[in-house]
């Protein structure tokens, strides 16, 4: 919060945009772009 605003979003939105699951996001494993 000191350097940027913290954003939140539904996991469904993140998964639909290619972010993968919550576990994959934490491990920084991303799906290839379509």
- Whole-angstrom distance, CA of residue 5 vs CA of residue 21: 23
| pLDDT tens by residue, 19-28 | 667 777 667 6
User: Is 24:30 a contact under the CB 8 Å cutoff?
Assistant: yes
pTM for the full predicted model: 0.35
* Number of compact structural domains in the chain: 1
User: Is 15:21 a contact under the CB 8 Å cutoff?
Assistant: yes
Is the pLDDT confidence value at 2 over 70?
A: yes
Q: Which domain holds residue 1?
A: 1-34
Is the pLDDT confidence value at 15 over 80?
A: no
Question: How long is the chain?
Answer: 34
Give the chain's count of helices (H) and strands (E): 2, 0
Span between the terminal Cα atoms of the chain, in Å: 32
């Amino acid at each position: 919060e000191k350097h940027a605003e913290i954003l939140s979003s539904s996991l469904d939105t993140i998964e639909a945009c290619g972010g993968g699951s919550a576990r994959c996001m934490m491990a920084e494993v991303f799906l290839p772009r379509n």
